[in-house]
Amino acid sequence: MYFPKLSGEFVFLSPVAPEDAALWAGWLNDLSVAVPLGDEAYLTYGLERAQQDVSEAVQRQDHIFTIVEKSSNRPIGRCLLFGVNLVDRCGMVGIFIGERDSRGKGYGQEAMRLLLDFGFNLLNLHNIMLGVFAFNERAIRSYQSLGFHEIGRRRETRWIGGKAYDAILMDMLEEEFRARYASVISAQ
């Protein structure tokens, strides 16, 4: 069962539930999901490991959410805030749309906006960063359109099929988010 923690027009973010473990295992064994994420592509990730990860995330109360399509109440992906430092008010985000038929519809962008709203307005973060590989041009364009800025690049750090790709770091400051978006949280 999914509970809307943050809700947009097309998707909502729900706290992770035990039944998500099978979804995680399926999604993270799909190379179209795992390769852009990074090391997940090289892991053997079965149901038992997924169940353990979900259980630990729930126990730690991590900021991990299932992305749920509102019209069907179907889980389509996952997003998270991690490395949260409440003293320096910074953290990192990650996201993927695991269901192939839900990609390219703007769901990921809406989910990321909800996650940023959560980070800036509920956790009171000042800086949120992400990493993306240079071959993931669609994600880079999406992050730029959300307001992320490239802040650094580690050259030729990911090798896939004999070709080297850069890792790109991007970030957004809270005032950049506020200038671009009204808070979803305060509107609810």
pTM score: 0.92
* Average pLDDT, consecutive stretches of 10 residues, N- to C-terminus, the chain (188 residues): 94 94 92 86 86 89 95 96 96 97 96 97 97 96 97 95 95 94 64
Integer CA distances (angstroms), 6 to 45, 100, 122, 131, 154, in order: 29, 23, 11, 23, 33
**93 contacts 147 by C-beta, under 8 angstroms:** no
Task: Kindly report, residue by residue over 132-178, the tens digit of the pLDDT.
Answer: 999 999 999 999 999 999 999 999 999 988 999 999 999 999 999 99
Instruction: Note the pLDDT of residue 184.
Output: 63
Instruction: Note the pLDDT of residue 186.
Output: 59
State residue 65 phi and psi, 5-degree precision.
Answer: -130, 145
- Which residue reads 């906006």 in tokens? 113
